[in-house]
Amino acid sequence: MKKYARLLAAMLAVVMMVFCFAACGAPATEPTDTETPNEPAANLNLQTEGVLVMGTNAEFPPFEYEEGGAVVGLDAEMMQEAAKRIGVTLEIKNMAFDSLPEALNAKEIDCIAAGLTVSPDREEVMAFTDGYYTAMQTIIVKKDSDITAADGLTDKKIGCQSGTTGQWTAEDYTDVANIVPFANGALAVEALINGQVDAVIIDNNPAKEYGTQYGDQVTLIENQFEAETYAVAVAKDNTALCDAINNAINDMKADGTFDKIVEKYIK
Ligand code: ARG
């Protein structure tokens, strides 16, 4: 009897060891070597082979802004990582926001990553990846303003960044003659501070940055409009590049890299 018990115990030990090897031996996920790019995907229709040229307007914190002469921010870092995963080098071209669609069309850039909102108008002239961020237009007013909600914008002078969905939103409330488009959001907010416009309409994350910068002078009015989706845009016929960027971003979402980048730039 004792002999059987000992045999049973020995067998049990072997079974447990096998189990342990199976459980502990296999890593939960494949180790990823982030330093080595993948094999470059063929036929991405890049203007220069092996180089992904991203167009942006680096005046849109925290998505893209300049720091020490370099373009940094959520979009820049997301695209650096995407390029690495696709197996190409990223080059960033900084330009006026409203010239990005033309640059894409003229093949001066391969893609746009600029906190760019997907819209039916834009879908006519470019192709979008899946969305990577949800945003909403925010109203910025001076602390003593009588505007407290979107309906208070009727017939007001509204500042915005030229060519943005903020400008399109303004058009729903006031005459085109009352809309003052600026080269960037910072200039629009300065105009607000100086009393040249009654309100600024701009995406919520840059709005928060300006809110912090001018905290004692401005108030943000949030959640007044429909949600918008940011996506990366490529030339309309470049399905291969669209898929490659999409896959890279989706992989980054799946393995947690994307969330880490978002957390780094958005508190
Ligand atoms: N989301 C808005 C749009 O697509 C504003 C984007 C502005 N981006 C920039 N990098 N300045 O129109």
Mutate to test the pocket of ligand 1, among 93, 116, 167, 171 (most ligand atoms within 8 A of CB): 116
Higher-confidence residue: 3 or 21?
A: 3
Confidence of residue 27 (pLDDT cuts 50, 70, 90): very low
What's the 92 CA to ligand 1 centre distance in angstroms? 16
Query: Which tokens is 14 given?
Result: 């072997």
- Residue 5 has a pLDDT of 53
What's the 244 CA to ligand 1 centre distance in angstroms? 23
| Predicted confidence (pLDDT) per residue in 237-264, tens digit | 999 999 999 999 999 999 999 999 999 9
Query: Which tokens is 148 given?
Result: 């407290």
State whether the beta carbon of 203 lies less than 6 angstroms from ligand 1: yes
What's the 115 CA to ligand 1 centre distance in angstroms? 5
| Predicted confidence (pLDDT) per residue in 172-206, tens digit | 999 999 999 999 999 999 999 999 999 999 999 99
In whole numbers, what is the pLDDT of the chain averaged over residues? 90
- Percent of the chain clearing pLDDT 90 (strictly above): 83
- Residue 37 has a pLDDT of 52
Higher-confidence residue: 66 or 5?
A: 66
Of 84, 90, 80, the C-alpha closest to 51 is: 90
State whether the beta carbon of 167 lies less than 6 angstroms from ligand 1: no
Domains of the chain: 51-132+231-265 (3.40.190.10), 136-227 (3.40.190.10)
pTM, to two decimals: 0.85
State whether the beta carbon of 56 lies less than 6 angstroms from ligand 1: yes
Q: What is d(CA 261, CA 248) in angstroms, rounded to the nearest whole number?
A: 14
- Measured in whole angstroms, the distance separating CA 262 from the mean position of its chain's CA atoms is 9
